[in-house]
Structure formats: structure tokens, C-alpha cells
């Protein structure tokens, strides 16, 4: 199943202080690497880089963070365009979510994702045709 990964999942996978969330996120990403089903957007990679180099307890060095971005770049299958932004504004309005969460959904939709791994939206819901999965439920 083509799975779009939100920045929080990617960040937890590289945050040594994230406890069980680190293990869960890393396991899910490993599964997506094996299956070839992982998807990301440049927005996710932006958020990842800033957060892991500046905002987590034990930040990654800039070079290490760049390498992660380079590795995950193959998961970016479509470009963010003006049409993506317009679609995000529609998704945000219809489902009453933040613009940034709507941008994630618009990029996921544009990339052909069937599900979104995130802790920022309600697990079990379907927004813009994409199933929301919280990989940390029960953790």
C-alpha cells in the first residue's frame, strides 16, 4: 500500500530521545523501504531537516541530516506546485484542518498515496480519500 510519511514519523525515527516512538517509526520506515511503498514531499524533508538539526534533544549534525534527506529524496515523486497549494486550501476548508496538515494531504493525494502515517490527524479517518494511520497508537 503506497504510504505517505508525515514529518513527525521521519523525525522520531532519527531522534535518539524519542523512546518507543523512535523504534516504532524506524521499523515502519524500514518496512516501507523493503516494500518500495514510501512517499514523501519536499515539505516533509524541510520540516525534518530543521527539526532534527535544531529542535530535538540530541540534534543531528547538518551533514548527517543532509544525508538522510538525500536518501529519502527518492520517495518524493511529485513536485509541490501552485495547484498543490490550491488543493491544500480546499482540503483544509472542507476537513477543517490546518493548512500545513492539508499540504501534507494534498501532496499525498498528488503522489497517489492510499494512507498517511502521522500522529497529527485522527487515526481511522479518511481525508481526501487517504486513510489516516497513527503508527504510535498504543505505544
**In the predicted model, is pLDDT for residue 139 greater than 70?**
no
In a domain, 139, yes or no: no
CATH for 87: 3.40.50.1010
What are the tens digits of pLDDT across the range 12-38? Answer: 999 999 999 999 999 999 999 999 999
In a domain, 138, yes or no: no
Statement: the pTM of the whole predicted model exceeds 0.85: yes
What range does the domain containing 107 cover?
A: 3-133
Work out the number of other CB atoms within 10 angstroms of the CB of residue 51.
Answer: 20
- Cα separation, 25 vs 134, in Å, equals 10
Q: pLDDT: is 3 or 139 the higher one?
A: 3
DSSP 40: B
**Count of domains observed in the chain:** 1
**In the predicted model, is pLDDT for residue 94 greater than 70?**
yes
In a domain, 100, yes or no: yes
**In the predicted model, is pLDDT for residue 138 greater than 80?**
no
Mean pLDDT computed over 43-62: 97
In a domain, 81, yes or no: yes
Amino acid at each position: 500500500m503506497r504510504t505517505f510519511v508525515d514529518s513527525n514519523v521521519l523525525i522520531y525515527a532519527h531522534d535518539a530521545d524519542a523512546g518507543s516512538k523512535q523504534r516504532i517509526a524506524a521499523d515502519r520506515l524500514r518496512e516501507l523501504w523493503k516494500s518500495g511503498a514510501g512517499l514523501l514531499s519536499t515539505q516533509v524533508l524541510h520540516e525534518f531537516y530543521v527539526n532534527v538539526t535544531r529542535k530535538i534533544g540530541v540534534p543531528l549534525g547538518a551533514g548527517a541530516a543532509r544525508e538522510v534527506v538525500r536518501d529519502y529524496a527518492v520517495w518524493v515523486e511529485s513536485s509541490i506546485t501552485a495547484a498543490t497549494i490550491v488543493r491544500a486550501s480546499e482540503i483544509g476548508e472542507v476537513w477543517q484542518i490546518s493548512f500545513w496538515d492539508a499540504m501534507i494531504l494534498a501532496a499525498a493525494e498528488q503522489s497517489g498515496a492510499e494512507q498517511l502515517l502521522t500522529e497529527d490527524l485522527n487515526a481511522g479517518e479518511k481525508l481526501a480519500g487517504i486513510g489516516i494511520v497513527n503508527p504510535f497508537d498504543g505505544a
